[in-house]
Amino acid sequence: MTVAGSTWAGTHEFAAVKLVEARSIDEVCQAVAAGGRVRALGTRHSFHDLADTDGTLVTVTGIPADPVLDEVKRQVTVGAGTRYGVLARWLEDRGWALHNLGSLPHISIGGAIATGTHGSGHGNGSLATAVRGLEYVDASGALVAVGVGDPDFPALVVGLGASGIVVRVTLAIEPTYRMRQDVYSGLTWEAFLADPDAVTGAGHSVSVFTTWDDDAVGDVWVKSRLDAFRPLPGTQPYRKTASLVGSTENLTEQLGIPGAWCDRLPHFRLDATPSSGDEIQSEYFVARSDAAGALTAVRQLADDIRPHLLVSELRTVRADDLWLSGASGRDTLAIHFTWANHPDAVRALLPRIEAVLAPFGARPHWGKWHTMEADAVAAVVPRLADARAVFERLDPQDRFANAHLRRLGVRV
């Protein structure tokens, strides 16, 4: 076991020679000011060496959340190491909500934002689109604040830890709302591909789960605000709780039972283990308008994918203007793969999946397995060079750079 252990799924052992478990922002400043390479470590939900360094890892998950609510501006400021589910419950208890959540409420706010984690819904931007301000420790060990309107802001929000360690985040909020979660079966590929938007737009947040079988798509999970619920045509509602890669006991309540937004938007409950972690994840983003073509292309590889797949999830994300967001500049379909722990087979499959998705300008999820490197990434991320210029200017000594960021062309 290394000094910093591994990612949550055991897909990467951290190589850092030192781990600082900060309990205050001052301790983060001191760790950075001490010199050498340094990177932020969150709740370890990435699947590779993105967060790693040959120097010091600094985790901010032990810093108190200390949420500060501003009801006039409809904002909350909170520690970046706080888990989304913890903040969500705190907001709900005070009559407030976030616009969306990821499938796991266990992930840290700072880490999820930095890697472009997204949730789902035609009208919902990624989690990073709620950000109104960041406080981060820069390469000198000083605390810096940036907000909407700052010229560097579009580069720093989905920033991959490339220019500092984020310690506090300000998020937009809205009044609390209630939801229901319904699961449907019986959707055929023919019906889905004829009008993907009709399915993925059937609720506030929609997930389509598939194993790429020939005829049937799989299950459709529709999370609806109570005042906007409508059944999904051409399908059958589940009469019992649908499972997701294992037991149903760790899932949020289904069957159309009303509940708070924070108890319906995630797939998994905060007070339960989301999965065994014995898995590998990959995800690619294409334009939502290309959904039918991109899904048809992946289906060509279905026979090779299926033996190594636990499940795929298809979700949509509204376009944004954050330079390294997977949804930057285009409404997006996210094609996600949860793989069995077959690393050699997955490594062999990923280039083939990337090849069939290349005509659609597929972008990788920064925190998950892919094989795209600098040239391929630059071809599909239009503002990559602009973001890199910001990171190089703010961190000229490469304090926060690492091998992974260089492979991507995010740092030089």
What are the pLDDT digits (tens) for 173-185? 999 999 999 999 9
pLDDT by residue (tens digit) across 105-164? Answer: 899 999 999 999 999 999 999 999 999 999 999 999 999 999 999 999 999 999 999 999
Burial 197-216 (b: 16+ CB within 10 A, else e): eebbbbbbbbbbbbebeeee
What residues contact residue 225 under an 8 Å CB cut-off, 6+ apart? Answer: 177, 178, 179, 204
Per-residue pLDDT at 33: 97
Looking at the predicted structure, is the pLDDT value of residue 276 above 70?
no
Looking at the predicted structure, is the pLDDT value of residue 245 above 80?
no
Global confidence as pTM: 0.96
Report the candidate in 303, 292, 223 with the shortest Cα–Cα distance to residue 263: 223
pLDDT band at 361 (very low <50, low <70, confident <90, very high): very high
pLDDT band at 334 (very low <50, low <70, confident <90, very high): very high
Are the C-beta atoms of residues 412 and 392 closer than 8 Å to each other? Answer: yes
Residue listed under structure tokens 């390469």: 139
| Six token digits for residue 199 | 């399915």
| Six token digits for residue 316 | 């949509």
Q: Say if strands 143-147 and 178-188 run parallel, antiparallel, or are unpaired.
A: unpaired
Report the candidate in 300, 283, 286, 281 with the shortest Cα–Cα distance to residue 357: 286
Looking at the predicted structure, is the pLDDT value of residue 273 above 80?
no
Looking at the predicted structure, is the pLDDT value of residue 6 above 70?
yes
| Average model confidence (pLDDT) across the chain | 95
Q: How far is residue 372's CA from residue 381's CA, in Å, rounded to a whole number?
A: 12
pLDDT band at 257 (very low <50, low <70, confident <90, very high): very high
For 341-356, what is the mean pLDDT?
Answer: 97
pLDDT band at 246 (very low <50, low <70, confident <90, very high): low
Per-residue pLDDT at 45: 86
Per-residue pLDDT at 241: 86
State the sign of the Cα–Cα–Cα–Cα dihedral 75, 103, 280, 197: negative
**For the chain, how far is it from start to end, CA to CA, in angstroms?**
30
Q: Say if strands 56-59 and 18-21 run parallel, antiparallel, or are unpaired.
A: parallel
For 345-349, what is the mean pLDDT?
Answer: 97
Per-residue pLDDT at 81: 97
Are the C-beta atoms of residues 116 and 128 closer than 8 Å to each other? Answer: yes
Give CA angle at 343 (342, 346), nearest 5°: 85
Domain 178-240+251-257+277-372 has CATH 4.10.520.10: no
The pair phi, psi for residue 340, each rounded to 5°, is -65, 160
Per-residue pLDDT at 1: 63
